[in-house]
Structure 1
């Protein structure tokens, strides 16, 4: 049996260190299980020529997978792309706050204090896969602040593009925000079975291809 003890209360010198500590909260034996699970799924997908889907239940599992995948793709460099379509969670229950046994219903009202999940984009871009092509998304319900927040995210996290979408119109149009300008992408209304993602993916693939060529020059 391997037992690994993590002190979550340690102060972190940087966001990268904080993110790495949160990822490392999993006991080592679970990390090995996750890696083994990923390898089995990968071989199966390659053999069948199918899409590799990686299910997860907790923020810890997601961060483990993201880190393993990103670091595995480091050697691929600009040929890899991260298409981060949604925030997995804004808040989580820290490992040290989780109870080991069943919470008794007769113990009175239950108060849960959630901690904010650190933004992983900065760590992904600077540490885990610095040369990969990275697309993030920004969803808002208020169109007045959408473009401003998308532009701020582009500069703050240094991603290659941010897909800005408003909740009420996200299935009809989105705006791809990048350093080269903003591009409005719309669904083809004359085609009932079309999706806005059809044109969005074509644009992203074209941008990624250009990025690969420029990186190799």
Structure 2
């Protein structure tokens, strides 16, 4: 079993949950963000990756924090974290520093502040402001994701009604169970076959993949009172609505955020058992409207203890 990867935090997860709920009277949003990869070997050289920069999860976390929630942010290592999306890359930062040094004196230098640095300063201020209300965890492989979700869920059982699970991560639909992974690198020559003239044909390999466990259902069974928000991405509306409806029933989710690959950044459909709300991007990020809608549904759910 792969270990849980905790980013540096001032306190452990149990202490964070107890402090935020019992002392500060805040509800907590568990956000999964970024894509998982599927190892093809235990000593991994090759893997199958799910594309995701983690933009939706990171920006959603920002709006939840600004709305008074605390956040457990479980993200793919290297993907976006809250308040850093607009920051320049390391290369751009180094070039900006090199091109904007006004004076250099020993260990100190002065910079001409431009728009790039303003973004960094703003990110730093927000991270400082909200750092005590964020608990950061990382995953890479789909196995680490499973272990991490199990770890988080096991810490939420004392206050199940105080949690929103906002599962925005792009989790692999298929994987190879850990006990079936080959130990070492798959040989590129093992798939070569010969024809009658002893001429090698094109090498090939056949992979047997298994459906990943439905961890949303696991969360619902473990935390029956939590508010469960799932995401569904497809390429055709008919398939999207059919699969979203199945998710509502099979996983007993409160909300499905459904979107098409082609316009996922500009158009999202919020589905519940009894309603459908279309959200379109206006001036700012669409995540602001998504979060506002989810909070409204959650507040009604908490107030009336009713399912949508």
1:147 aligns with 2:231: no
Q: What displacement does 1:48 show?
A: 3.6
CA deviation string 1:63-112 (max 9, x = no partner): 11101111211111111010011441111122222222344444444433
1:73 corresponds in structure 2 to 156
2:171 corresponds in structure 1 to 88
- Give the structure, 1 or 2, with the largest relative contact order (CA under 8 Å, sep 6 or more): 2
Distance of aligned partners of 1:42 and 1:118 in 2 relative to their CA distance in 1, 3 Å threshold: farther
2:299 corresponds in structure 1 to 209
Structure 2 portions without partners, runs of 5+:
17-129, 193-204
Alpha-carbon separation, structure 2, partners of 1:200 and 1:91: 28
Larger % of strand: which?
A: 2
Contact 1:150 1:162 in 2 (8 A): yes
Distance of aligned partners of 1:96 and 1:166 in 2 relative to their CA distance in 1, 3 Å threshold: same
Larger % of helix: which?
A: 1
Contact 2:255 2:271 in 1 (8 A): yes
Q: What displacement does 1:113 show?
A: 1.9
Distance of aligned partners of 1:141 and 1:39 in 2 relative to their CA distance in 1, 3 Å threshold: closer
Distance of aligned partners of 1:42 and 1:160 in 2 relative to their CA distance in 1, 3 Å threshold: farther
Q: Which has the larger radius of gyration?
A: 2
2:139 aligns to what SS in structure 1? coil
Structure 1 portions without partners, runs of 5+:
1-25
> How many residues are treated as equivalent by the alignment?
179
1:112 corresponds in structure 2 to 207
Distance of aligned partners of 1:100 and 1:146 in 2 relative to their CA distance in 1, 3 Å threshold: closer
The Cα RMSD (Å) is 2.6
Contact 2:259 2:267 in 1 (8 A): yes
Contact 1:78 1:211 in 2 (8 A): no
Distance of aligned partners of 1:107 and 1:130 in 2 relative to their CA distance in 1, 3 Å threshold: same
1:201 aligns to what SS in structure 2? helix
2:276 aligns to what SS in structure 1? strand
